[in-house]
Chain A
Amino acid sequence: MHACVPAPLRPRVEGNRGERESMMNRFLPVVVCWCFAVAAGGWASADDKVDYLTQIKPVLAAKCYSCHGVLKQEAELRLETRSLMLQGGESGEVIVPGEADKSLLVERITSEEGDRMPPPEEGGALKAEEIALIRTWIDQGAQSLQEQAPSDPREHWAFKQPVRADVPQVNDTEWALNPIDAFLAAGHQELGLVSVAPAEKHILLRRLYLDLIGLPPTRQQLHAFLKEDSTGAYESVVLDLLDSPQYGERWGRHWMDIWRYSDWYGLGKEVRYSQKHIWRWRDWIIESLNEDKPYNRMVVEMLAGDEVAPTDPGTLRATGFLVRNYFLFNRTTWLDDTVEHTSKAFLGLTMNCAKCHDHKYDPILQTDFYSMRAFFEPHQVRLDPVPGETDLDKDGLPRVFDADPDVPTYLFIRGNAKDPDKSRTIQPSVPGVLAFEGLHITPVSLSAEASNPALQPFVVEDHLREAEQAIESARDDVEMAKQQLAAAEQAASAIATTATREAEAPANSPVTVAEAEAALGIAETTLAAAELRPVALRTAHAADLAKADSSPPEMLPQLVSEAALAARKYEVAKAEKAVARTQQELTAADSETRTNAENELTTAQTNLEKARQQLAQPGEDYTSLRASLRAANGYGEYVAGEESRRGPFANVSTGRRTALANWIASRKNPLTARVAVNHIWLRHFGQPLVESVSDFGLRANKPAQHALLDWLAVEFMENNWSMKHLHRLIVTSRAYQLRSMLLGADESTKKADPQNQYYWRRRPLRMESQAIRDSLLHLAGVLDATVGGPSIAADKEDSVFRRSLYFTHSRDDRGRFVSMFDDADILSCYRRGESIIPQQALALANSKLALAMSRQITARLQQECGDATDEQFITIAFETVLQIQPTAEEAAACREMIEKTRAALAKSNHAQPVVRARENLVHALLNHNDFVTIR
C-alpha cells in the first residue's frame, strides 16, 4: 500500500479521545519500570547512553500512541516497539538506527510546517529536550530490549458484546430442558464429568425458601410440599416465593451489599457520611425488586433519578445510591468513592486504580478516571421535605441534584487534589475501549417545583397546619396565663386582707401579680403573632408560585405586595412579642441584671418602632418558604450554618449522569448485564461464574462457563432485564437442584473438577448474618412482616422483631448479633465472607436472641402438640428447625440429652424441668450445623 498523501504520521483528531487512548498500552506489565526514570531524563549529551525504556518510550506513549498504537493506526503506523517503528507505515520505516537526521520520526516531530507531529490541535509539540533525547537514542543505534507489541484490549472477552451462543445439544434428556443445564452438561460431556443426583425434596424446599425469601419453610409448608406429587409443584412454589414481598427483602439485602448501603454516621449529630433517612433508598430497592423493575431502569434511576423523574419522590429515592457516598470533609474522597463504586458495581471495572496514574492492567487512563469524575462533578446532595413533616432532622428525602453545572474537572497530578492540572478542563466521557457509541449529554430543565421543593402544595399545607397548631397552643397559653393572673390577684388580695398568713401565700400562687401580667403579655403577643403567620405563609407561597410561573400572571405585583404586607404585619407582631418578653425579663431582673434588661427593652422597642414604620411602607420583600437543605460541602460550610444551603436550586441539570446511566444501561454495553448476571448467579449458587466479581478487566480470565454467562446476559437483556426471569430460570435448572453431599459421587469427577467449575454438584452455603437472625424470629413465629420504614436502632435487634435489613447499618452502628456472621462491610461488599469462628458458636449459644427464640419456638410447639411424647417432640423439633426428620441415632442422642437435662434440672429443683429440657433441645438444634447451612 502506498500513501497518496505525504502525511504518514497524521493523527485523526477527535476531541480529547485521542489523548485518552494514548498510552493505551501502558496496561502491559512490560514497562513496569518507567516510573523511576522519567524524572531522571533531562538533556542528553552524546556520551550518556539514552535508555529507551525510561527516556524514550514514555514520551512516545504520551504524545504518539493515541493515533499510532494498538487501538488506532493512523497511516498504518504503530510506534509501540522498536520493531514496529522499523516496520513503519504507509511511508515506510520511521527510524533509521544510527541516523537521526534520516529518520522520518525526527523530521516530523521537528517540522515547523503544518505536518508537525503531534498536530497542534492534538497537543503541544515535543519539548526540545525530548527531541534531543530521541535524536541521541536513534544516533546511538535506537537500541531497546525485545518487546512484545501490546495486544488489542478490545479483544478481551468481557469487553466484547455478549453473543447468545446456540444452546448445545446434549444426550442426557434431564439436562436438555433448561438452557443453563444444556451448557453445563456440554461441559460434563466434554470432560467426562458425572454430576451428582438431585437433592431430596425437603432439602430442595429449604434451599429454595432461604434462597428466594431468606426464611426457611414452616413445618406445614414442608409437609404440604412433600405430599404434593404433581410435576409443577416445585415451579409453583418458585412463583409464589418470587411473588411474596419477602423476596424483595431478601434480594434487596444482597443488592444493598453490592451498592454499599449505609445509614449515616459521623460524630454526635454531625452527619459526616451518607445522609439521614437514606432508608428511603433501601425501600426503593425492595419495592423495585418486588415489582421486577428492569435492572437497567434501576441503574438509570439510581444514577440519574433526579434527571429522569425530577418531581417523582418515589424515583428520587433511588439516587440514595449516590447520596450514600457523601463525605462532609473531602469532596475528592466523596467523588473518588462515587467513581470507584459506580464502576465496580455496574461495570466490574476498577477505575479507582487509575486515580494517580494510568491503570496498570486495564486500558483505563488516568484521564479516564477524571472523565468519569466529570459526570458527577456538578452533583451535590440535599434533603427535600416529605409530606407531613417540616423538620428535616425527623424526616426527609435524601437525593442528589446538579448544584453547579460549571464546576470544572481537572486531572489531579499523581492523584494529588492539591495539584490539579488546570491547563485542561476534563469533559465527561467513558473509557475509549468501551466507547461503543457517542455519549449524548442533554441538559434537563427542571420545573419550579423540582428546583424549589418548597413550592409543592404539601409544603405550605404542612407549614399552615403547623401554624394552626401554634395558634391553638398559643390560645391555650393565653387561657392559662389568664388563670394564673386571676389566681395571683386573688392571692394578693388575700394576703392584703390577712397579712398574718403571709407565709402561706406562695403556696397558693407561685407568681406575683406583676409576673403573671408579664406572662400574659407574652402569651397574648405570641398568639397575635401566631395568628398572623398563616396569612404570611399563604401570601408568600402565592407570590412565590406566581413568580415561578413561566409566564407570571398580571396580578404578580399585587401578590407580592400582599405577601410583603403580611410579612410586615407579622414582623410587627413578632417585635411586639419581643417587647413583651424583654418587659418580663425586666420585671424579673435583680439589681445585677437590671441595666442589661433595660437596654434590651430599649432595643426591642426601637425594633418595634422600625417594624411599624416599615408596615407603613411594606415594599416588596417577604420571606419565602424554604423546605430543602443541601448537605454542607466541606466543614467550613457546615459551621457557617444552613442559610446558604436552603435553596432554591439550579433549574437546569447537566444531563451528564443521565448520559452515563444510559451508556451503562445500554444493551450495547458489554459489561453491565454480565456483571449483574454474575452477581445473581453467585448468590444462587454460592460461587460466581467470574471469580473476580468486581473486576471484569484484563486480569479476569475468560471463565470456564463463558458461553453460559453470555447466553444468560443476552437472555437477561432480551427479557427486559427482568431479575425474576433470571431467578426462575436459574432455580428451575437441574444444576441448581443438585445435592451438596459428595458421598457416592464419582471419584474421577471429584479429581477432575475439585472447584466445581462445571457445576456437577452443589456447594453448601452458610446463611448470611441477616438470614440467620430472620430465620430465628420466623421459626419462633414472632417475625414482624412489616415492609419498609425508617431504620431501627441497631441495639434493638433482640427486642424489635422486624427483619434485619431494617436495622441501622453503618460504620458505627450495627447489630451485635448480625456482625458476628460476616456481616456486609459497608465500604465494600461485592461478596460476603463465610468464616467459621468460635464467636459465632457463642452468639448462637449465649445470645439473648437465640435463647429467647428457642424458648419461643418450644412454647409454640408445646401449644400445637401439647401431648407429644419426647419421641414425637424430637421429630417435630427437627422438622421445625432443620426441616428434616431425625435418624434413629439422632433421635436417641436427643432423647438421652432430654433425659439427662431433666434429671439435672429436677435435682436443682427447677420449676419446669420438662419444658426446659425441650427448650434446651430446640436451642441445641438452632446450633446444629444444618441450621446455619443451606444444603
Chain B
Amino acid sequence: MNGGFSHQQRDCDTHRRAFIADTGIGLAGIALASLLDRDGHAADVVGRRPPDGKPHFSPKAKNVIWLFMRGGFSHVESFDPKPALNEFAGKTIAETPWKSVQDPERLKNLRVVATNQDTQRNKLFPLQVGFKKYGQSGIEVSDFFPHIGGCIDDIAVIRSMWTTDDNHGAQVQFHSGRHMLDGLFPTIGAWVTYGLGSLNDNLPQFIAMGPRYFDKRDGHYLGPAYDAVTLKVDPKNPLAYAKPELDLSREEQELQFELIGRLNRFQAAQRPEDQSLLARIKSYELAFRMQTAVPEVIDFADETAAIRKLYGLDEAETKPFATQLLAARRFVEKGVRFIKIMHGDGAAGAWDAHSNLKSNHTKLSAQVDKPVAGLLMDLKQRGLLDETIVVFATEFGRTPGSQGSNGRDHHPFGFSVWMAGGGIKGGIVHGATDEIGFHAEEDPHYVTDIHATLMQQLGLDARRLEVPGHKRIEIDFGHPINEIIA
C-alpha cells in the first residue's frame, strides 16, 4: 500500500506481473494467441487456454477467400443443370415421376423461422438460362457464369448441399453451422483465425468486406478478438482515423503506444481472466501497425493494366466486386488468413430472386463472374492458388417450382457451392440432386462439411479447438469432403 488508491493495493501476484512486464515489449508484434500462451496465464475464468496458433497436422493450405452470394443463387441456373425442369415445365411436382420428393418424411429437416411460404412451389419452372460444357472436364456451367466456366478445371463443384433454415437466417447458418433459432455461434472465419492466428502482425488476421445483416459478429463466445475487421476498399479512406488529425509525429505516437501497451499489460497481470483487456491490448498493437499496412495493401498503384482488366476493374459493372477481390489477393499475399467477401445488398440479399429471376441473376452474375474468374487465374499464375482455398457459396438454392410468374422461392433441401485451390481437386463434380434439383440425393452435405473440408486443408482439428463450457454438437463439426481433396 502506498497510502493511495492505485492498482497496487490489490493482492496481485507480483511474480506473474513481473513476468508479463518482461515479455510485453510494446510493438514487438505478438499475436494474441501466442501472446497469451507465452504469458503463461491465458486461462480464463473457465480455465480456457486459446490454442498456440500451430496447425494440428500438416496443412495443405494457408489462406481462405470466402465469397458469399447473399440471398441465395439458383443452383439450377448456375452449377446444377436440370433439363427435366424444361421438359416438365408447368406441371406440378405431383404430376411428375418425382412426386416423392415432397414426402413429409423427406422434408423433416426443415426448421421454419418466418416465411411467406406456406406451401411448396409446386409448378415446375423452366430453366431461365442455357448451359455449356467447359474445360477438359466438360462440366456444365450456366451462361450466367461464362468466366467461372472457363476456370472449371480448377474447381470442385458440390451439387449436394443442404441446410435447414428456409429463410435468410441460413446465411448465418452457413457461417456458424447453426440454425439461427439456436442462437449465434462463432463463424468459420473466427474458428480458423482462433486456431491459426495471423501470418502477418501488421494486418488483421480476418478481414470482411461487403454487406452483412443478420449477424455482424464472428467471434461470439470466442470473444471479439475473433470478429472480422471490416474494411472498405477506398484508397483515400480505407480505414477511419488512419492517421492523427492534429500534429503528432510518428515517433511521438510510437512512444505513446508503447506506454499504452505497458500500462495495459500491468493491468492484464492482475486480471488474467479479462479477455476484453487482452483483446484491447492486441487491438492497439494491431491498430498502430495497420495505420500504414492497410493503406499500402489497398493502394493498387503497382498493379498492371492487364491485371486490372483480368479482374474487370476497368468496367463499371464489375469494378466494385473486382476491387474487393483484387484487395483480397493482395491481403493473401500479405498473409491475411481469412478474407470474407459478401455480395448482394439489402436485408435479405440481392440474389433473393422471388420474381424476375432471369433479370436478377443476369445483372448480379455479371457483377461477380469476371472478377471471380480473374481472381482464380491471378492466384494461379502467382502460384498462390495452391495454398489458398477459394469458396463460392450462398445460403440455399431456389425452388424447382415457380413463385409468381417468373421467380423461384428459397430452397434449403438441395443446392450448389464450389471450392477451388488449396489442395482441392479441379474439374470435378461431387454429389447430385434428384432430376428436378429438389433434394441433395447423392452424397448430401450439410453446410459444416464445407467448414470441415477447410479445416482439414488448413491442418486444424476442430474438436481440439473446442472451448470448455461451450460444448459443440456433432453437426457443428461436419465431415471433410474427402472426394474433392487432391
**Which residues of A are interface residues toward B (Cβ below 8 A)?**
32-33, 35-40, 51, 53-54, 200-202, 226, 353, 355-357, 360, 414-416, 741-744, 750-751, 754, 764, 766, 816, 820, 833-843, 845-848, 851-852, 855, 884-890, 893-894, 897, 900-901, 904-905, 908, 916, 920-921, 923-925, 927-930, 933
A901 to B249, CA, bound (A): 10
Which residues of B are found within 8 Å of A37, using beta-carbon distances?
A: 104
> Residues 258-294 of chain B: 1 if any A CB is under 8 Å from the residue's CB, otherwise 0?
1110111011001111101101110110111011000
| B103 vs chain A, min Cβ distance (A) | 10
From A353, A837, A852, A897, B255 is in contact (CB under 8 Å) with A897
Name the contact of B257 in the complex, choosing from A39, A845, A855 (C-beta under 8 A): A845
The residue from B111, B227, B272 contacting A837, defined by CB atoms under 8 A apart: B227
A residues less than 8 Å from B111 (CB atoms): 32
Nearest residue (CB) in A for B279 is A836
Nearest Cβ on chain A to B83's Cβ, whole angstroms: 26
Q: Interface readout for B217-243 with A: 1 if CB under 8 Å, 0 if not?
A: 100000011010100000000011111
Is there an interface contact between A924 and B266, defined as CB atoms closer than 8 Å?
no
Q: Is B102 an interface residue (CB 8 A)?
A: yes
Question: Does chain A have a CB within 8 A of B13?
Answer: yes
Since A35-B119, A843-B240 are in contact, a sample of 15 more A-B pairs with Cβ atoms closer than 8 Å, ordered by chain A residue number, is A36-B119, A39-B118, A54-B104, A741-B271, A834-B276, A837-B224, A838-B290, A841-B280, A845-B244, A885-B4, A887-B7, A897-B255, A904-B255, A916-B252, A927-B260
- Distance in angstroms between the alpha carbons of A887 and B286 in the assembled complex: 27
A residues in contact with B288, CB < 8 Å: 841, 845
**How far, in whole Å, are A845 and B241 apart by their CA atoms in the complex?**
8
What are 20 A-to-B residue pairs whose CB atoms are below 8 Å? A39-B118, A51-B104, A200-B5, A741-B270, A751-B46, A754-B46, A754-B469, A838-B284, A838-B290, A839-B229, A842-B291, A845-B288, A846-B243, A847-B245, A887-B7, A890-B266, A893-B262, A893-B266, A901-B252, A927-B284
A916 / chain B contacts, CB cutoff of 8 Å: 252
Contacts of A36 in B (CB 8 A): 102, 104, 107, 119-120
- A200, B94: Cα distance in complex, Å: 73
User: Could you tell me if A842 and B241 are in contact, using CB atoms closer than 8 angstroms?
Assistant: yes
| Most-contacted residue by chain A among B6, B107, B111, B118 (CB, 10 A) | B6
Which 4 pairs of residues, A with B, have the shortest CB-CB distance? Answer: A841-B287, A848-B245, A838-B287, A887-B8
Q: Are A890 and B7 in contact (CB under 8 A)?
A: yes
Contact at A743–B12, with CB atoms within 8 Å? yes
Report A-chain residues with C-beta under 8 Å of the C-beta of B249: 904, 908
Q: Which of A836, A840, A928 has the most CB of B within 10 A?
A: A836
CB distance from A234 to the nearest CB of B (A): 15
Q: Which of B94, B271, B279 contacts A743, CB < 8 Å? A: B271
Q: How far is the CA of A842 from the CA of B287 in the complex (A)?
A: 6
Looking at B114, B244, B251, B263, which has the most chain A CB atoms within 10 Å of its CB? B263
CB distance from B105 to the nearest CB of A (A): 9
CB distance from B6 to the nearest CB of A (A): 4
CB distance from A850 to the nearest CB of B (A): 9
CA distance A568 to B252 in the complex (A): 77
- Say whether B464 faces chain A, with CB atoms less than 8 Å apart: no
Residue numbers in B under 8 Å from A925 (CB-CB):
263
| Minimal beta-carbon separation of A504 from chain B (angstroms) | 55
Is B486 in the interface zone, CB < 8 Å from A?
Answer: no
- Do A928 and B116 touch (CB < 8 A)? no
Binding site for A on B (CB under 8 A): 2, 4-13, 21, 45-47, 94, 102, 104, 107-108, 110-120, 122, 204, 217, 224-225, 227, 229, 239-246, 248-249, 251-253, 255-260, 262-264, 266-267, 270-274, 276-277, 279-281, 283-284, 286-288, 290-291, 469
Specify which of A40, A887, A905 is in contact with B6 (CB 8 Å cutoff).
A887
Kindly state the separation between the CA atoms of A37 and B94 in the bound complex, as whole angstroms: 12
A820 touching B240 in the complex, CB below 8 Å, given contacts A754-B45, A840-B283, A905-B252: yes
> Would B255 and A889 count as touching, CB distance under 8 A?
no
Residues in A with CB closer than 8 Å to B246 are 848, 851-852, 855
Min C-beta distance of B427 to chain A, whole Å: 38
CB distance from B147 to the nearest CB of A (A): 35
Q: Is the CB of B118 within 8 A of A357?
A: yes
Contacts of B122 on A, CB cut-off 8 Å? Answer: 39
Q: Quick check: A837 and B267 within 8 Å, CB to CB? A: no
**B104 in complex: contacting residue of A53, A846, A893, CB < 8 Å:** A53
Residues of B within 8 Å of A834, CB to CB, are 224, 276
CB-CB under 8 A from B258, the residues of chain A are: 897
Distance in angstroms from B20 CB to nearest chain A CB is 11
Q: A846-B242, A920-B252 are in contact. Are A35 and B117 (CB under 8 A)?
A: yes
- Nearest-Cβ distance from residue B241 to partner chain A, whole angstroms: 4
- When C-beta atoms are compared, the residue in chain B nearest to A899 turns out to be B255
When distances are taken between beta carbons in the complex, the residues of chain B under 8 Å from A353 are: 114
Whether the pair A920, B255 counts as a contact (CB closer than 8 A) is: yes
Name the one of A201, A416, A848, A921 contacting B116, with C-beta atoms under 8 angstroms. A416
Bound complex: CA of A53 vs CA of B257, how far in Å? 65
Residues of B contacting A360 in the complex (Cβ-Cβ under 8 angstroms): 112-114
Q: Which of B104, B107, B240 contacts A839 (CB 8 A)?
A: B240
Are the CB atoms of B256 and A923 closer together than 8 Å? yes
The answer to whether B119 touches A889, judged by C-beta atoms less than 8 angstroms apart, is no
**B283 and A838 within 8 A (CB):** yes
How far in angstroms is the closest Cβ of chain A from B226? 11
Q: Is the CB of A33 within 8 A of B259?
A: no
Q: How far is the CB of B236 from chain A (nearest CB, A)?
A: 15
Which residues from A are CB-within-8-Å of B104? 33, 36-37, 51, 53-54
Complexed CA–CA distance, A271 and B423 (Å): 54
Kindly list chain A residues whose C-beta atoms are within 8 Å of the C-beta of B115: 356
With beta carbons under 8 angstroms apart, the residue of B12, B47, B204, B248 that contacts A838 is: B204
Of the candidates A32, A414, A889, which one forms a contact with B112 in the assembled complex, judged by CB atoms under 8 Å apart?
A: A32
Complex contact B256–A743 (CB within 8 A): no
Q: CA–CA, A820 to B239, complex, Å?
A: 11
Q: A742 near B271 (CB under 8 angstroms)?
A: yes
**A739's closest neighbor in chain B, by CB?**
B10
Complex CA distance for A852 and B290, rounded to whole angstroms: 23
Residue among B5, B283, B284 with max Cβ neighbours from chain A (10 Å): B5
**Is the pair A356, B114 in contact by a Cβ cutoff of 8 Å?**
yes
Whole-angstrom distance between the alpha carbons of A840 and B45 in the complex?
A: 26
Q: How far is the CA of A893 from the CA of B257 in the complex (A)?
A: 12
- Chain A minimum-CB-distance residue to B13: A743
> Complex: how many Å from CA A356 to CA B112?
12
A894–B263 alpha-carbon span in the complex (Å):
9
Of all chain B residues, the one with the shortest Cβ separation from A415 is: B116
Q: Which residues of A contact B4 (CB under 8 A)?
A: 885
A766 — which chain B residues lie within 8 A by C-beta? 276
**Is the CB–CB distance between B255 and A901 below 8 Å?**
yes
Q: Which residues of A contact B242 (CB under 8 A)?
A: 842, 846
| Distance (whole angstroms) from the CB of B360 to the closest CB of chain A | 20
Question: Are the C-beta atoms of A414 and B118 separated by less than 8 Å?
Answer: yes
A764 touches B276 (CB 8 A): yes
Cβ-closest chain A residue relative to B14? A889
**Docked-complex contact A847 and B255, CB < 8 angstroms:** no
Residues of A within 8 A of B469 (CB): 754
How far apart sit A277 and B431, CA to CA, in the bound complex (Å)? 59
Minimum distance in angstroms from A846 CB to a CB of chain B: 4
Q: Which residues of A contact B252 (CB under 8 A)?
A: 901, 904-905, 916, 920
Which listed residue, B45, B256, B263, touches A890 by the CB 8 Å rule?
Answer: B263
- Measured between beta carbons, the chain A residues less than 8 angstroms from B224 are 834-837
> Do B10 and A33 touch across chains, with their CB atoms under 8 A apart?
no
The interface residues of chain A lying within 8 Å CB-to-CB of B253 are 845
- The answer to whether A842 touches B239 (Cβ under 8 A) is yes
* CB–CB A851/B116 < 8 A: no
Docked-complex contact B274 and A764, CB < 8 angstroms? yes
Contacting residue for B267 out of A201, A852, A929, CB 8 A? A929
A837 vs B10: C-alpha distance in the bound complex, in angstroms? 29
* A889 contact set on B, CB distance < 8 A: 21, 266
Contacts of A39 in B (CB 8 A): 118-120, 122
- The reply to whether A200 and B276 form a contact with Cβ atoms under 8 Å apart is no
A905 to B247, CA, bound (A): 12
The answer to whether A897 and B244 touch (CB under 8 A), given A360-B112, A884-B7, A885-B5, is no
